[in-house]
Amino acid sequence: MIAAVANFLAGLIVTLGVLILIARLAFSLPEIENRQDTQALPPTTEGALAAALASQEEAHGGQTGVAPLQKGADAFAARILLADAAVSSIDAQYYIWHDDLTGTLLLGALRRAADRGVWVRLMLDDNGTAGLDPELAALDAHPMIEVRLWNPFNLRRFKMLSYGFDFFRLNRRMHNKSFTVDGHATILGGRNIGDEYFATGPTAPYVDLDVLAVGRVVADVAADFDRYWRAGAVHPAGRIVGAPREGDPLATRLAGLETDPQLGEYRQILQSSDIVNALAAGEFGVEWTTAQLVSDDPIKDEGAVAREDLLASRLADAVGEIETRFDGVSPYFVPGKAGVEAFAQLAARGVQVRMLTNSLDATDVLPVHAGYAKRRKDMLRSGVQLYELRQQAAVDAPIDRLGPFGTSDASLHAKTFAVDGARIFVGSFNFDPRSTTLNTEMGLLIDSDRMAQGLHDAFNADLRGLAWRVELDDGDMIWRDPQTDVVTTDEPGTSLLRRLALTIVGWLPVEWML
């Protein structure tokens, strides 16, 4: 009996192996040997953006100007207005680009720029391009636009089935996000392109954070884009999505938005914003300082790389020794055993360590919360202070009270941390194994007392009622509302099914890919 079962299992494994091999051969990706790799254009000396920044760049030679983009509407307007001001080039790199209102409007802005003679390069992770194949094909056919897809899926319809025969390649994604215009300005941080990232649409918005950067670091971002543009994981979109179809799918999609009530609101936002003139007048809140781009080598897509070459290691080296305070924000916080030990060592040295992540009620990825929950008690015992964003956070609070986390009924998506009241990191990196070892990531480490202290102050104020403070009471976890001091012993958002799911996922050996 045992021998028969063993033979059956062996035969099943061989059959599955053969089927996977056949599928990979049948749905293989096209070769990229004849791909022509372009490079970023030098900063233009013409156009409104160059004129607006010329005197400031000269006055602050070698420095970087940074301004946080906290509100979703402002972050959207900044991208659209910069694209509309472009006269030379736009390089955009994103993990997700949705086919919704804001995603479509931004594609329209890219094509308007190309129609004016601006050279546009668009690089997207193929995991986040659902529904956009016709538009991407049409854009790629434009003489002034190049579109490339990172680690594309073998199948265009039912894309997720590709995981069944090419899992280990497709499990590695490009999580980077940047938007660089004319070689003079770039936006990078946590936001992808889609309604929920810009605080509109039918889904609950994300609480997110970007920075607008001008000056010295823009050249570094442009060079980093070139590194990814010529990476082996990148494929010209036309070879993946096929030839453009008849008609103009982007124009059709844009016309369909005319009845969207949100379109009028966003037009008003754009009409009331003038980023270029604000930059020229010094009224955009730009702080001139030093900033360092930290980015993964795109070769990370090809498999394991030396730990010292990972963004996490480079970032730790750039930050240096933490002396007094570390306040972090990570929506997908899965510290793992090594992370718990690292935080515990900081706390043992007397460093105040505080972390904000999503509560079970607010999270949009339950398995990730399971990876966090299994390490929660160990972190609390080591002295780490934990906060969890409430789903119905400060419903009636005005935006100035909400500070850098300001909205209600939202899910956390910002990825940032502040150190010793002097430095702040803003980027795409989560404190989880996926960001550390699987996905490529990027971000800016900024020397800014103002921005760092702003994050510290938010934690000092117990995040202004937006988050539960998780504590231990005689070894049991409790969730305390810091403003009302109301305590619950049941995890907010829990249910029998959710508790069962969290327990099961916590048992499974999947922490390495959360």
pLDDT in tens, 387-413: 999 876 533 333 333 333 334 467 889
User: What are the beta bridge partners of residue 294?
Assistant: 443
Check the CA dihedral 48-49-50-52 and report its sign.
positive
- CA-nearest of 197, 172, 24, 244 to 101 is 197
Coil, helix or strand at residue 318:
helix
Side by side, which strands form the sheet with 476-480?
A: 291-295, 442-447, 423-427, 416-419, 325-329, 352-358, 385-389, 467-473, 476-480, 487-488
- 513/172 Cα distance (integer angstroms): 10
Q: Determine whether 377 is an active site residue.
A: no
119: its two tokens: 């050279």
- 74/284 Cα distance (integer angstroms): 11
State residue 341's pLDDT score: 95
* Contact status, residue 225 vs residue 91, Cβ threshold 8 Å: yes
Q: Determine whether 177 is an active site residue.
A: yes
Please state the pTM of the whole predicted model.
0.91
State residue 18's pLDDT score: 63
* Choice among 99, 420, 449, 481 that is catalytic: 420
Q: Determine whether 224 is an active site residue.
A: no
* Choice among 413, 432, 456, 462 that is catalytic: 413
99: its two tokens: 């086919």
Q: Could you report the per-residue pLDDT of 4-16, keeping only the tens digit for each?
A: 655 655 565 666 6
Question: C-alpha angle with apex 374: 487 to 445, nearest 5 degrees?
Answer: 90
Q: Determine whether 337 is an active site residue.
A: no
* Contact status, residue 250 vs residue 227, Cβ threshold 8 Å: no
* Choice among 140, 182, 220, 224 that is catalytic: 182
* Choice among 98, 100, 125, 175 that is catalytic: 175
Q: Cβ contacts of residue 329 below 8 Å, gap of 6+?
A: 355, 356, 357, 412, 414, 415, 416, 417, 455
Backbone angles phi, psi at 176, to 5 degrees: -65, 155
State residue 16's pLDDT score: 63
Name the stretches of the chain with pLDDT < 50: 394-408
State the Rg of the chain over Cα.
Answer: 23
Please report how the helices 47-59 and 72-85 are oriented relative to each other, as an axis angle in degrees rounded to 10: 110
Q: Determine whether 182 is an active site residue.
A: yes
- 69/88 Cα distance (integer angstroms): 24
State residue 17's pLDDT score: 58
* Contact status, residue 244 vs residue 93, Cβ threshold 8 Å: no
* Choice among 98, 300, 415, 456 that is catalytic: 415
- CA-nearest of 352, 327, 341 to 375 is 341
DSSP assignment letter at 122? E
- CA-nearest of 130, 123, 122, 190 to 157 is 130
* Choice among 177, 184, 300, 456 that is catalytic: 177
State residue 304's pLDDT score: 73
- 260/254 Cα distance (integer angstroms): 10
Question: For the chain, how many helices (H) and strands (E)?
Answer: 18, 21
DSSP assignment letter at 183? T
